[in-house]
């Protein structure tokens, strides 16, 4: 099982650089940024790339209704991120027909981003199956360990039906550590629960109490125990919930860092 560390796009470069360097020291194999209307994830990855030149870079995820394939390719070229290091996550965003949008986007993405590994944001069963059948990876979000295991089965079934090996599965696990951990997790989750119909449907399927999806840990040992339950993920992407400053973010990264094999 791999482990990455993820942040929100637009993180101050004076924080992003030291954070990425520290993640590399801690043994993370990738660093990730999301992408949102206020900031481009690829620009945050460019800062990560300079500070941590030996680990992979991931953006999870760019919504194709907001940034079409040609614009994504232009951004990759503009920021100078090495395509060979990149896991590029894409999702439907606010598309009215999300499954159709992502099926139709893939040939365009392949054409304009040759050699880039394309990861599909997948929560529902049909999107999971599409990720397994056609994409280079699946990216889960806001799942419990048990729900992620069921979603993994859908990815594997899609791959099997397409006659190919299942691609790697990544997933954000929101992680807060310390005295205010539960409050941080609940605040983050509340924003997403009503963001759009896809998330509303997902949380309805999930059926979990508000503020419980992710890791709210009292200390590093507790964080490691909770993260270890996510066995359905090939790579856990720890989405650090902390103040956007060097010390708080690196503290979460250290608490959630990959552990040496016994």
Write down the pLDDT at residue 262: 65
- Can you list the residues of the chain whose pLDDT is less than 70? 262
Q: Tell me the DSSP string of 7-55.
A: E-TT--HHHHHHHHHHHHHHT-SEEEE--BTTB-HHHHHHHHHHH-TTS
Write down the pLDDT at residue 197: 86
Write down the pLDDT at residue 1: 84
Cα-only R_g, the chain: 17
Write down the pLDDT at residue 242: 97
Write down the pLDDT at residue 260: 79
Q: Which long-range contacts (CB under 8 A, 24 or more apart) does 200-205 make?
A: 201/124, 202/123, 202/124, 202/142, 203/142, 205/124, 205/147
Set out the domains of the chain in order of their start, with CATH numbers.
Answer: 2-255 (3.20.20.30)
């Amino acid at each position: 099982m791999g482990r990455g560390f993820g942040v929100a796009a637009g993180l101050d470069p004076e924080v992003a650089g030291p954070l990425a360097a520290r993640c590399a020291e801690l043994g993370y194999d990738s660093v990730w940024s999301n992408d949102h209307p206020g900031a481009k994830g690829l620009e945050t990855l460019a800062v990560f790339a300079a500070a941590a030149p030996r680990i992979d870079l991931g953006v999870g995820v760019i919504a194709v209704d907001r940034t079409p394939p040609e614009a994504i390719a232009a951004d990759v070229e503009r920021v100078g991120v090495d395509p060979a290091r990149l896991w590029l996550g894409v999702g439907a965003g606010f598309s009215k027909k999300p499954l159709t949008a992502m099926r139709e986007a893939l040939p365009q993405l392949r054409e304009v981003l040759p050699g880039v590994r394309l990861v599909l944001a997948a929560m529902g069963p049909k999107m999971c199956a599409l990720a397994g059948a056609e994409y280079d990876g699946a990216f889960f979000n806001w799942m419990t360990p048990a729900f992620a295991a069921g979603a993994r089965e859908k990815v594997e079934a899609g791959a099997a039906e397409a006659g190919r090996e299942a691609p790697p599965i990544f997933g954000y696990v929101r992680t807060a550590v310390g005295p205010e951990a539960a409050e941080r997790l609940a605040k983050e989750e509340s924003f997403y629960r009503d963001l759009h119909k896809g998330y509303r449907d997902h949380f309805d399927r999930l059926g979990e109490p508000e503020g419980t999806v992710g890791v709210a840990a009292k200390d590093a040992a507790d964080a490691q125990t909770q993260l270890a339950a996510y066995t359905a993920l090939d790579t856990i992407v720890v989405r650090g919930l902390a103040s956007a400053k060097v010390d708080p973010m690196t503290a979460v990264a250290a608490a959630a860092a990959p552990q040496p094999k016994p």
